[in-house]
Amino acid sequence: MFAVFASIHLVGGEYALVQTYAWAGMLVSYSKEDGLIKGAKETFSGEKPCALCCKIADAKKSDSDGKSKELPVSPTVKLLKEMLPSSPLALSPPQFTEAPKVMFPGMNLPVEEGASAPPVPPPRCVA
């Protein structure tokens, strides 16, 4: 579910969803008059945008005008930079330790000395 929301955000968020809805409506209305192929060409050519497409373009433009290219530097960002290590960290792999042998209560054999292989050839039906 997170992947779906992340991909919607990457392709333009709510504008992409509304634009898809607008294209679907345009495709249906243009296809009724001239057929599917010509309707698809008119829908995606950009020459005859619908009212919803114009509103989406205006909303995108007003959003991009309000945003500045540079992000403001907040005290949190400065604090995070101060928390970074000054020298690179070197991690060593964990040391190997041998695991203890597993014993089951009430049994005298360790796990490695379990039952032998089955007889060859396999036994016939005992009935």
Question: Could you read off the pLDDT of 10-45 as tens digits, one per residue?
Answer: 777 778 888 888 999 999 998 898 889 998 888 888
119 pLDDT band (50/70/90 cuts)? Answer: low
Residues composing the chain: 127
pLDDT surpassing 60 at residue 99: yes
Please give the residue that has the higher pLDDT: either 108 or 3: 3
In a domain? residue 68: no
In a domain? residue 79: no
Supply the pLDDT for residue 100: 83
CB 57 within 8 A of CB 65: no
- pTM value? 0.46
The HSE-up count of residue 83 (CA atoms within 13 Å, CB side) is 6
**DSSP symbol at 105:** T
In a domain? residue 19: yes
Share of the chain above pLDDT 70, in %: 70
Ramachandran bin of 112, using left for φ above 0, alpha for ψ from -120 to 50, beta for the remaining angles: alpha
How many domains does the chain divide into? Answer: 1
Separation between Cα atoms, residue 14 and residue 98, nearest integer Å: 56
In a domain? residue 107: no
What range defines the domain where residue 34 resides? 10-57
Question: Radius of gyration over alpha carbons of the chain, in Å?
Answer: 34
Supply the pLDDT for residue 24: 92
